[in-house]
Amino acid sequence: MLEREEGASSTLKQLGATVRTLDLWDDPVELIGDDDDEQEIRPRALVFEALDRPDLAVAALRAIRKESYFDNVGALIAVTVGQIARIDPASGFDDFCLHPYVPEELYGRIRALEWRRSEFATEERHKVGGIVVDRGSHEVYVDGRPIALTAKEFALLSYLFERRGKVLSREHLLARVWGNRYEGGPRTVDIHVRRLRAKLGETLPLETLRGSGYKLRAPHNDDKARSAGDRVDRNETVEGDDESFTASLEPELRLVSREEPAALPEAI
């Protein structure tokens, strides 16, 4: 990406983000630093500055998605007004932004993108993908929409979120959610799981393990958390103020442009 006054790179740096740039047709591996794993650096968002060529951005996104390093990282495509109609909803982008940029719009869209992709766990609230479970108010939201659950459905979902990454047998779930005095059988758990899946849809990352029980999948981008079955949060600040948002972007905000890259400093 060229360092130009009206470019996304310049705009995002003014917001305090750390930016790495790459041309649309270059190898996305070049965005990965040699010491990223050691320093636990992970990208927060991908911005594809396609302008008048959204087709090039689609090809670049497919190439980037082949690298597991970018799993679960949201993608934003920037186009001119005349190209809005050419953006295919099935292309894989989470959102789009118009060029020339309005800094407040670019900021807002990236912040919303980070929120949709973020995951966190506190004493009162859990967020997994697009699902938010508020234990304090006994409310569940999917992509911002309230979902009506029965008391036992909520209790089961809340416990699954609390024990994310762990394999939980039907007998274990029956004892912890329904209580030891409940006289029903394990089939009760299957029925409630079916209801949760019907209400929450594909946003619920719940696996059925034949002969073992159920497991709510751990984050894809954290091998240590996946193997230990623990939740490691790196995005709890996305709901905060402007300063918190800037801090959450700082680890890395990767951008891709269709323009021929100029000679940029190595730090970029």
Please report, as a single letter, which amino acid is at residue 196: L
Using a pLDDT cut of 70, give the percent of the chain over it. 77
Q: Confirm whether 202 is domain-assigned.
A: yes
Q: Confirm whether 268 is domain-assigned.
A: no
Closest CA to 103 of 12, 2, 238: 12
The mean pLDDT value for 187-192 works out to 94
What is the rounded CA–CA span in Å between residue 252 and residue 100?
23
CB crowding 66-85: b at 16 or more within 10 Å, else e: eeeebeebbbbbbbeeebee
pLDDT at 170: 94
pTM of the predicted structure, to 2 decimals: 0.53
Overall domain count for the chain = 2
Using a pLDDT cut of 90, give the percent of the chain over it. 26
pLDDT at 183: 81
| Residue 86 to residues 65, 156, 211, Cα–Cα distance (Å) | 21, 43, 48
Average per-residue pLDDT for the chain: 77
User: Do 111 and 242 share a structural domain?
Assistant: yes
CB atoms within 10 A of CB 197: 14
Q: Confirm whether 1 is domain-assigned.
A: no
Q: For residue 148, what are the domain limits?
A: 121-228
What is the rounded CA–CA span in Å between residue 41 and residue 65?
18
CATH of the domain at 12: 3.40.50
User: Do 190 and 60 share a structural domain?
Assistant: no
Instruction: Please give the residue that has the higher pLDDT: either 113 or 190.
Output: 190
Helix (H) / strand (E) containing 255: strand 253-257
Residue 18 · residue 246 · CB < 8 Å: no
User: Do 53 and 35 share a structural domain?
Assistant: yes
pLDDT at 147: 95
Q: Confirm whether 51 is domain-assigned.
A: yes
pLDDT at 268: 30
Closest CA to 222 of 165, 262, 173, 264: 165
User: Do 91 and 14 share a structural domain?
Assistant: yes
Instruction: Please give the residue that has the higher pLDDT: either 103 or 4.
Output: 103
Which sign does the torsion angle of CA 98, 101, 102, 107 carry? positive
User: Do 167 and 95 share a structural domain?
Assistant: no
Q: What is the pLDDT of residues 78-137, one digit of tens each?
A: 999 999 888 888 888 988 999 888 888 888 888 888 777 667 777 788 888 888 999 989
With 80 as the cut, is the pLDDT of residue 31 above it?
no
User: Do 190 and 131 share a structural domain?
Assistant: yes
Q: Confirm whether 247 is domain-assigned.
A: yes
Name the phi and psi angles at 46, rounded to 5.
-120, 125
With 70 as the cut, is the pLDDT of residue 253 above it?
no
